[in-house]
């Protein structure tokens, strides 16, 4: 029997995920969120990946520094799960920026 480790989470089965992703060319993707900046979309994508939901980001431009429309897409079969995950993790703009860049916004007040 494997030892119990405090704080460890049980490994999730990925068999259904493997079946879904077996042929990515035939997978239909649903847009579950749209952002005006890429770092926010990347933060949400990180949440999905951590929960075992495949994700792709689609942006309308490749120019650096330009405000970009960025869609977060997941396989249609997992769209309901992705929306549930979003409802459980409502991030503020500052939290999304921190998750995407690792930098704290200088305007946040620690006394709040």
CATH number for 62: 3.30.70
The per-residue pLDDT for range 77-109, each reduced to its tens digit, is: 999 999 999 888 777 778 777 777 778 766 545
> Nearest-5° angle of CA 78, CA 26, CA 44?
35
22 lies in a domain?
no
38 lies in a domain?
yes
74 lies in a domain?
yes
Q: What domain count does the chain have?
A: 1
Q: Residue 96 corresponds to which tokens in the numbers above? A: 């999304």
Q: Which residue has the higher pLDDT, 10 or 62?
A: 62
112 lies in a domain?
no
- pLDDT on residue 6: 45
72 lies in a domain?
yes
Mean pLDDT to the nearest integer, 8-17: 47
15 lies in a domain?
no
Q: CA 59: distance to chain centroid? A: 15
19 lies in a domain?
no
Domain that holds residue 57: 28-101
- pLDDT on residue 9: 44
7 lies in a domain?
no
Q: Rounded distance, CA 106 to CA 83, Å?
A: 31
The per-residue pLDDT for range 16-73, each reduced to its tens digit, is: 555 545 445 578 999 999 988 888 888 899 999 999 999 999 987 666 666 668 899 9
Q: Are 62 and 69 in contact (CB under 8 A)?
A: no
pTM above 0.85, yes or no: no
- pLDDT on residue 63: 66
């Amino acid at each position: 029997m494997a030892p119990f480790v405090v704080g460890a989470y049980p490994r999730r089965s990925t068999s259904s995920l493997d079946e879904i992703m077996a042929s990515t060319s035939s997978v239909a993707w649903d847009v579950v969120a749209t952002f005006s900046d890429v770092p926010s979309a990347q933060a949400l994508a990180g949440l999905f990946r951590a929960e075992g939901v495949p994700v792709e980001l689609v942006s309308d431009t490749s120019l650096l520094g330009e405000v970009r429309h960025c869609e977060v897409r997941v396989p249609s079969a997992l769209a309901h799960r992705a929306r549930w995950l979003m409802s459980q993790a409502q991030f503020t703009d500052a939290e999304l920026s921190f998750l995407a860049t690792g930098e704290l916004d200088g305007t946040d007040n620690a006394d709040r």
